[in-house]
Copies of this chain bind each other. A is one copy, B any other.
Amino acid sequence: AEKKRIAVLPGDGIGPEIVDESVKVIKETGKQFGYDFECSFGMVGGGAIERLKNPLPEETLTLCRNSDAVLLGAVGGPRWDSNPPHLRPEKALLGLRQELGLFANLRPATLFPGLEKSSSLKPEVLEGVDLLVVRELTGGIYFGEKYTEETGEGARATDTLVYYEHEIERIVRRAFRLAKGRRRRITSVDKANVLESSRLWRRVVDRVSKDFPEVRVQHMLVDNCAMQIISRPADFDVIVTENMFGDILSDEAAMLTGSIGMLPSASLGKGPLGLYEPVHGSAPDLAGQGVANPIAAILSSAMMFRHSFHDEEAARAIESAVKKVLSSGARTTDIALAGSLALSTEEFGDRVCEAL
């Protein structure tokens, strides 16, 4: 059996509950596909702030560095919302991305059959939606110099958006490779009519595109993209964009399908090490009641098999199992409709394991 080390970071709120189900599914999949998993748990986010006064303790980072993949639940909660920046749970996410060099964030937005009702978009607009946002994750305005200073005219705050050509090139190449395995269409999103970094971005996309003649490229301004995602979402295949635009557009796209509680994400670097987490947050108000929806966490583990273990077959097995359970009418309470069966977090995880 192939030995793999997984760092498991449950985090805050519903994080631990959904991660438990994901781990269960990972182990079941491992049995069937010949893996020998070693799962080690680490502290991250609010819990780590409470116990170690550090949202991302050094030992957690070391654990991740010595692993083949990282599974994260969610971080954050109102208790830490007014903390100073370095003592906030989100700092852990930013730290993990930067320290592990996870520059490529993959956020698919797909339709789950039977869940059209929970979307605010018309079913005919949603038909055929299957898009993947590829967001740059370790550069741009997130990591540039930032400071506030007192001036003769009052306080002045500065943030800096910086991109090196090579930072743009690696994410763009990743997006092109992903598009090759999909519908071979890329929309590169920028604000080239205003930003210098966007003009560099556009130049790099045009250059890289020459190496992928089979992929059709389109440039789109970010404001226009925010409109097109609503009006004709099915026309998109891969969207590639810089960090902040990706943050906004991927959340917008995730909302399309009305299933934000069900969407997974992967954050990848140069090597096989990746971090896998649900798109949704820690939902502290739902924690501890057994009502959280574990689907996003479970589908994140499917992405783990795909991108860190390069095992497409196992990934598809998990995805099919989730679909099968949903087709049977089973739901967690957040997506339960009148007449459907509402399962607990744990029951839902068990069903997926059975379906595998």
Contacts and interface: CB of A to CB of B under 8 A. Distances in A.
Contacts of A247: 191, 222-223
Main secondary structure of the interface of A (DSSP, over half): helix
A208 interface: no
A196 B146 contact: yes
A162 interface: yes
Nearest to A149: B196
A252 B226 contact: yes
Contacts of A162: 156-158
Contacts of A165: 154-156
Interface residues of A, number: 60
Nearest to A169: B154
Contacts of A201: 157
A40 interface: no
A199 B82 CA distance: 11
A153 B141 contact: no
B164 A151 contact: yes
A193 interface: yes
B157 A160 contact: no
Interface string A83-104: 0010010100010000000000
Contacts of A304: none
A166 interface: yes
Interface stretch (A120-128, A313-321, A338-346): A120-128
A157 B163 contact: yes
Among the interface residues A90, A223, A260, which one has the most CB atoms of the partner chain B within 10 A?
A223
Interface string A186-202: 00000101111101110
Contacts of A141: 141, 161, 194-195
Copies of this chain present? 2
A236 interface: no
B164 A153 contact: yes
Contact of A157 (B146, B199, B222, B249): B199
Interface in A265-294: none
B147 A196 contact: yes
A355 interface: no
A138 to B, nearest CB: 13
A301 to B, nearest CB: 24
A256 interface: yes
A312 interface: no
A212 interface: no
A248 B252 CA distance: 11
27 contacts: A120-B122, A120-B125, A120-B231, A121-B122, A121-B230, A144-B158, A147-B196, A148-B199, A148-B200, A155-B200, A156-B163, A156-B164, A156-B165, A157-B195, A157-B201, A158-B196, A158-B197, A159-B197, A161-B161, A222-B247, A223-B250, A226-B251, A226-B255, A227-B252, A227-B255, A231-B258, A252-B252
Given A122-B122, A230-B230, 19 more contacts: A121-B121, A141-B194, A141-B195, A142-B194, A156-B163, A156-B164, A156-B165, A157-B162, A157-B197, A157-B201, A159-B161, A160-B160, A223-B247, A226-B226, A226-B251, A226-B252, A227-B252, A227-B254, A230-B255
Interface of A: 85, 88, 90, 94, 120-122, 125, 141-142, 144, 146-148, 151, 153-166, 191, 193-197, 199-201, 222-224, 226-227, 229-232, 244-245, 247-252, 254-256, 258, 260
